[in-house]
Structure 1
Amino acid sequence: MTGAPLIELEHATVRFGTRVALYDVTLAVHAGERIALVGANGSGKTTLLRLLHGQLQPHLASGVRRTARGADGCEPRQAMLFQRPFLLRLSVRRNVELALWLAGVRGTERRERALAALAHVGLRAEADRPARVLSGGQQQRVALARAWAVRPQVLFLDEPTASLDPHARRDIEALVAEFAAEGMTVVMSSHHLGQVRRLASRVIYLEQGRLVVDRPTAGFFDDPLPDEAALFLQGELP
């Protein structure tokens, strides 16, 4: 990729007490990329997402840093979607408006943008329903609407379809692909390798907190891999 990265890690290590969750990770995220993080449970995918998002800071040591810069030179606008989205005991529209309020959007514009975001994900008719009575797939679409409404440059997704049925999963995948086509940079973790093939332009394989493979998607699936990554791809945990 050309141009300065939006987010960059250099020799980043994350510790939780005595446990090392990520070790010496160096990578850069460029505008327009669609990056999939893959690996077994506990490999460090969620920790890496949170580190890239700025929710975590790398362990302080010589030469370690996280840098992030948008087109204006400031931290790029970001949003993160979790496997089970947290929705307040409010209407669907109010849940989206809250994110816009936190982003500093004014009252009348908040309502307009919230309704536009819900229309974008096919939930305009559900705007006044309590968010928590919706199905799992609908709740995930509310979370996507909430993220899209703040117009992030980078969208982080942590196993966004893990608990959904195939129909709901296809809906979420279609929306993520649409967001990416609009120019949004996407970084997501996934156990679903078919989903990775469909959505990602780049795949990063993690094992026990170490970055083992970082390749374009075609190279990850079609070219020889290190033994541990090849076993994972075959469905055998290293």
Structure 2
Amino acid sequence: MTELFQLQAVDVYYGRVQALSGCTLRIQAGERLALVGSNGSGKSTLLRTLNGLVKPAAGSLQHDTRACQAMLFQRPYMLRASVLRNVALGLWLAGVPWREAKAQALVALERVGLAHLATRNAKALSGGQQQRVALARAWALKPQVLLLDEPTASLDPSAKREVERLMAEFADAGMTLIFSSHNLGQVKRLAQRVIYLELGRLVADLPTEAFFGGPVPAAAEAFLKGELA
């Protein structure tokens, strides 16, 4: 399998606060990888580091530059424009002519079931609909790697199911999926491999069945039992 990312003893700081400490990790193409841990454990920082938004202060990060990436944030940013324009703009910025970008954006919206809202102001959509627009915007770029930071946080159950369905379909089509989540049921449903982080340190790296079936490090066991602050 193609290796997409290789992190070796990576440290990341925000000012004096260390967000990642000695993180060593390898990720292969086609994996479905979940990042779990309490708030402040380093999940979002690790995703941003993989995406190149945060630079390591120490250690090394190697990645396959041929693999196109897209990242979705917990609260996707929507321009004060139509849904179609929000999706088409990403393609246009990637070099696609505007007329073609709009046509491809409509295909992407059809893919996530929102073509009927193409002319609606994106800011007026529900949280679940905005997240699906963000997924369409990412999918339209045909990325090999999709990174998602708490993609269903604050969504109602119906919207969560729809976003999960799209994530699973994208992964089934060969896209590498790396996502953070507090929803352990979601992790069980979508991930093949689980990374547990605590205070910026990678504590456990296990197949999903092994992570939830044990044995796991004591800190991860406490997290699974809901006993970790």
Q: Same fold (TM over 0.5)?
A: yes
Match of 1:170 among 158, 161, 178: 161
Partner of 1:192: 183
Task: Give the percent of matched residue pairs that are identical in Structure 1 and Structure 2.
Answer: 59
SS in 2 for 1:101: helix
Instruction: Work out whether 1:52 is the aligned partner of 2:50.
Output: yes
2:228 and 2:102 map into 1 onto residues whose CA distance is: 47
Partner of 1:32: 30
1:79 and 1:39 map into 2 onto residues whose CA distance is: 23
Comparing 103-112 with 215-224, which one deviates more in the overlay? 103-112
Match of 2:206 among 196, 210, 215: 215
1:150 and 1:202 map into 2 onto residues whose CA distance is: 25
Match of 2:63 among 54, 68, 80: 68
2:71 and 2:134 map into 1 onto residues whose CA distance is: 9
1:196 and 1:12 map into 2 onto residues whose CA distance is: 25
How many angstroms does 1:75 deviate by?
A: 4.2
2:194 and 2:127 map into 1 onto residues whose CA distance is: 27
How many angstroms does 1:103 deviate by?
A: 1.2
Partner of 1:8: 6
Match of 1:88 among 79, 88, 99: 79
| Deviation readout 1:107-165 (Å, 9 max, x if unpaired) | 23211110000000000000011001111110110000000000111000000101101
1:189 aligned partner, one-letter code: S
1:122 and 1:16 map into 2 onto residues whose CA distance is: 39
Instruction: Work out whether 1:225 is the aligned partner of 2:223.
Output: no
SS in 2 for 1:23: strand
Instruction: Work out whether 1:182 is the aligned partner of 2:189.
Output: no
Partner of 1:202: 193
Comparing 198-207 with 4-13, which one deviates more in the overlay? 4-13
2:61 aligned partner, one-letter code: R
SS in 1 for 2:185: helix
Which sections of structure 2, spanning at least 5 residues, go unmatched? none
Instruction: Work out whether 1:109 is the aligned partner of 2:109.
Output: no
Partner of 1:42: 40
How many angstroms does 1:8 deviate by?
A: 1.3
TM-score (normalizing by structure 2): 0.98
Partner of 2:132: 141
How many angstroms does 1:102 deviate by?
A: 1.4
Comparing 104-113 with 146-155, which one deviates more in the overlay? 104-113
1:218 and 1:202 map into 2 onto residues whose CA distance is: 8
1:83 aligned partner, one-letter code: Q
2:63 aligned partner, one-letter code: A
SS in 1 for 2:22: strand
SS in 2 for 1:195: helix
2:179 aligned partner, one-letter code: M
2:28 aligned partner, one-letter code: H
